[in-house]
Amino acid sequence: MCGIIGYTGSQSAAPILLDGLGKMEYRGYDSAGIAVLHEGEIEVEKAQGRLVNLLERTDNGKKPVGFTGIGHTRWATHGAPNDINSHPHVSGDGRFAIVHNGIIENYAQIKEELAAKGHVFVSETDTEVVAHLIEANYSGDFKAAVMKAVSRLEGAYALGIVCADFPGTVFAVRQAAPLIIGLGIGENFFASDVTALVSYTKNVIYLDDGEFAEVRPDGFTIYDSIGRPLEKPVSRVAWSIEAAEKGGYEHFMLKEIMEQPAAVKEAIAPRVKGGEIKLDDFELSGEDLRDINKIVITACGSAYHAGCCGRYAIEKLTRIPVEVKLASELRYEDPIIDEHTLMIIVSQSGETADTKAALEEGKRRGATTLALVNVVGSSIARLADHVLYEWAGPEIAVATTKGFTTQLALLYLFALYAAGKLKRIDDFEYARLLGEICSLPKRIQNAIDMNSAAAERLAEKYHGSTSMYFIGRNTDYAVALEGALKMKEISYVHAEAYAAGELKHGTIALIEEGTPVIAVCCNEDLLEKTASNILEVKARGAEVLALSFRENRDIIAHADDVLFIPRTETFFSEAVAIVPLQLLAYYVARDNGCDIDKPRNLAKSVTVE
Ligand code: F6R
């Protein structure tokens, strides 16, 4: 949601904090701020709006001066995004400054108590309350004050705290929100995300819930929730800073669309050995799989759509029933999940609050849990019984692209792996389908090459539309869902997806002269059926843009415009079919002058429910 960072060392803190905030701006971007310690004082600068405003206010980091500090980029939860509600927040006596990612659920009660004791609050935030609470518990021992204050907090939070009496020390506290300590030489860091740290160090420690760290220039100490020092393993970040930079592209989203062939290859290739699929540490025998009577896939947003896509391949190939559930619903549903359930949790960030809660619910009910996650060391990756990493590299654009297609690659691999173990398909079919999965990177590349110019051209025609309808059947419907989400979230064009056969049960009333209908027709078994739906909407004046393969002459004849993908095995077609729709959404958003990488109201990692 928000991004937090801390630095202590021998370099000027402000430029490092600002640079890190720039790398994490995708986590939230409605305001930003930094606090720097200098000669026993805390100096704070904050600015509403994008980070560029803070850069201006701080003269590109020339001020405030000092070697220890904390920073924050915000996605507002409590209080409007203005200068006052921006972090860092300072205690009443000015001795403590604090940055916070998450939500303090019991802040109102604490605020009332502190107000009764004379504390005066200036902002509407939950975070300011924590600064005052630390102040109220302080009698010269920084660590003790932090611990006492934190013991009162309920909710999800990652905190960074500095104290004017302790130059060179920052405290970082984690409870259900990501927090990573970065280890340098003569300097140390913390941040919500490794992208903020990789320019400075690749050696990191992932904090767990309830842990906190005292970070100094010459070292650090990690404590458990009752203040006992802990030994934690140091991990090495596998990717370089270039992976988190635009590399000549106008937007991260376009770069990430173009990276998909390589990312999908990275997800697949290391897991195919000697003509067989090996799912890292996730080993299930045919017998284990026969004991599973249901698979529940749970996720949010695009990751949920990945689950909708993967369901078709898993059910077709394994004949195990699959339910795909929105994590935000599952967690409050009293779901039918037990020790015979395999739960697949899909999350690019590995930090989505609802998805994490759904995973916890599944574990409580005895399910075996398998997480498909991109961010290494993230909460969901660590909580699940098993994890398969997407290996997509950092995804910076808020709208996911390579995160989505690598999730599909893992779901396809799982489907075929399970079908093989269950002996539901013969060796020949297994080898053929594995060949199809392995050819996805090439097909995705073809889809990019075939559609980049066409999508740009079609965007000129469609970008002024006020509403678009995406239709498809079965696997194509799952693609339509994700295509519509891409369109609306970055271009702000109202876009809805419908199962093609469902349109005439009400929604067709909205089709009028010139309404764009994007018809996904990549499922070989259902082409004729979707063709009929195209005729139905055309008869009501719709402008139809079909997505299909060149061999599908029928649809080409009916549609006003066509985008093509290479012909692809239906089971795995979603990973290719989505690419032209990502490009179309990108160019429509560009033509509409939208802020593509940071769409309004959104944030990359949704750590609040
Ligand atoms: C849309 C998008 C979101 C995420 C959703 C889940 O482009 O990116 O819908 O898919 O917020 O995020 P993760 O996968 O991080 O759990």
CATH for 257: 3.40.50.10490
Going 509 to 515 to 517 to 518, the CA torsion angle's sign is negative
Q: Which of 302, 347, 355 gets mutated to test ligand 1 (max ligand atoms within 8 A of its CB)?
A: 302
Q: Look at residue 542 and tell me if it is in a domain.
A: yes
Nearest CA to ligand 1 atom 11: 301
Judgement on whether residues 82 and 16 belong to the same structural domain of the protein: yes
**Total structural domains in the chain?**
3
Helix 402-421 and helix 440-462, axial crossing angle in degrees, nearest 10: 140
Instruction: Centre a 10 Å sphere on the Cβ of residue 37 and count the other Cβ atoms it contains.
Output: 27
Find the helix or strand (DSSP H, E) in which 201 lies: none
Q: What angle do CA 169, 170, 175 make, to 5 degrees?
A: 150
Could you tell me which residues are beta bridge partners of residue 517?
469, 544
Please state, in angstroms and rounded to a whole number, the distance separating the CA atoms of residues 304 and 310.
Answer: 10
CA distance 426 to 11: 63
216 and 329 share one domain = no
Distance from C-alpha of 63 to C-alpha of 57, rounded to nearest angstrom? 9
Q: In DSSP terms, which residues pair with 467 in a beta bridge?
A: 494
In this structure, are residues 13 and 45 in contact, taking their beta carbons and an 8 Å threshold?
no
Residue 550 lies in a domain: yes
Distance between CA 174 and CA 186 in Å, rounded? 24
Residue 53 burial (C-beta neighbours within 10 Å; 0-12, 13-18, 19+): middle
Please check whether residue 36 lies inside any domain of the structure: yes
Q: Per the domain annotation, does 257 fall within a domain?
A: yes
- Distance separating alpha carbons of residues 560 and 278, to the nearest angstrom: 45
Q: Is there a single domain that holds both residue 526 and residue 407? A: no
Tell me: do 307 and 428 sit in the same domain. yes
Find the helix or strand (DSSP H, E) in which 304 lies: helix 301-318
Pairwise CA distance, residues 404 & 302, whole Å: 7
Residue found under tokens 């405030």: 64
List of residues 6+ apart from 560 with CB closer than 8 A: 543, 544, 545
Backbone angles phi, psi at 263, to 5 degrees: -65, -45
- Residue 303 C-alpha to ligand 1 middle, in angstroms? 6
Measured in Å, residue 242 CA sits from the centre of ligand 1 at 23
Examine the residue annotation and report whether 2 is marked as an active-site residue of this protein.
Answer: yes
What are the tokens at 561?
Answer: 């415009």
For residue 583, CA distances in Å to 26, 80, 491, 545, 547 come to 20, 33, 12, 14, 12
CA dihedral sign of residues 485, 489, 490, 493: positive
Compute the distance from residue 539 Cα to the ligand 1 centre, in Å.
Answer: 36
Domain boundary residue, one of 218, 237, 256: 237
**Nearest Cα to Cα of residue 545 among 573, 564, 570:** 564
- Tell the residue number behind the tokens 């100096």, with chain if given: 43
Residues 398, 473, single domain; the answer is no
Closest C-alpha residue for ligand 1 atom 3: 301
* Residue with CA closest to ligand 1 atom 5: 301
Residue 389 forms beta bridges with which residues? 373
CATH code of the domain covering residue 93 = 3.60.20.10
Same domain, residue pair 552 and 462: yes
Q: Among 171, 607, 576, which Cα is nearest to 409's? A: 576
Which one, of 116, 108, 11, 13, lies nearest residue 58 by Cα? 13
Ligand 1 centroid from CA 408, angstroms: 14
**98 C-alpha to center of ligand 1: Å?**
28
pTM of the full structure = 0.88
User: Is 167 part of any domain?
Assistant: yes
Among 422, 438, 454, give the residue marking a domain's end.
438
Same domain assignment for residues 177 and 259: no
Among 348, 380, 490, 609, name the best residue to mutate to test ligand 1's pocket (greatest count of ligand atoms within 8 A of Cβ): 348
Q: What angle do CA 8, 11, 15 make, to 5 degrees?
A: 90
Judge whether 37 lies within some domain.
yes
Residues of the chain with pLDDT under 70: none
Q: How far is the CA of 578 from the centre of ligand 1 (A)?
A: 15
User: CA–CA distance from 193 to each of 2, 154, 179, 234 (Å)?
Assistant: 10, 23, 7, 15
Chain centroid to CA 563:
28
Q: Name the helix (H) or strand (E) containing 576.
A: helix 574-591
- Same domain for 531 and 583, yes or no, is yes
**C-alpha to C-alpha distance for 475 and 521, rounded to whole angstroms:** 9
Which of 140, 23, 125, 40 minimizes the C-alpha distance to 78?
125
Answer whether residue 243 is part of any domain: no
For the chain, the 3-state helix, strand and coil shares in percent, each to the nearest 5, are 40, 25, 35
Atom of ligand 1 nearest to the CA of 352: 16
Question: What is the DSSP-derived secondary structure letter of residue 88?
Answer: P
Q: Which atom of ligand 1 is nearest to the CA of 349?
A: 15
Out of 438, 453, 484, a domain closes at 438
Contact indicator for 325, 294 with CB cutoff of 8 Å: no
Say if residue 566 is preceded by a cis peptide, omega within 30 of 0: no
Q: Cα–Cα distance between 3 and 129 in angstroms, integer?
A: 19
Residue 608 lies in a domain: no
Chain mean pLDDT for the chain? 95
Terminal alpha carbon distance of the chain: 11
Instruction: Find residue 170's DSSP bridge partners.
Output: 162, 215
Ligand 1: residues whose CB is within 6 Å?
A: 300-303, 347-349, 352, 355, 399-400, 485, 489, 605-606
289 and 267 part of one domain: yes
* Cα(46)–Cα(603) distance, integer angstroms: 19
- Residue 426 shares a structural domain with residue 448: no
Q: In this structure, which residue's CA is closest to atom 10 in ligand 1?
A: 302
CA 546 from chain centre, in angstroms, equals 29
Half-sphere exposure of 221 (CA within 13 A, CB side): 9
Tokens describing residue 603? 């944030």
Do 585 and 447 lie in a common domain? yes
Q: Which residue out of 330, 400, 405 has the highest number of ligand 1 atoms within 8 Å of its CB and is therefore the one to mutate?
A: 400
Domain of 106, in residue numbers: 3-237
Q: What is the pLDDT of residue 428?
A: 97
- Are the beta carbons of 487 and 581 closer than 8 angstroms? yes
Contact 101, 3 (CB under 8 A): yes
Cα–chain center distance at 468: 25
- Shared domain for 291 and 349, answered yes or no, is yes
Q: At what angle do helices 475-491 and 574-591 cross, to 10 degrees?
A: 20
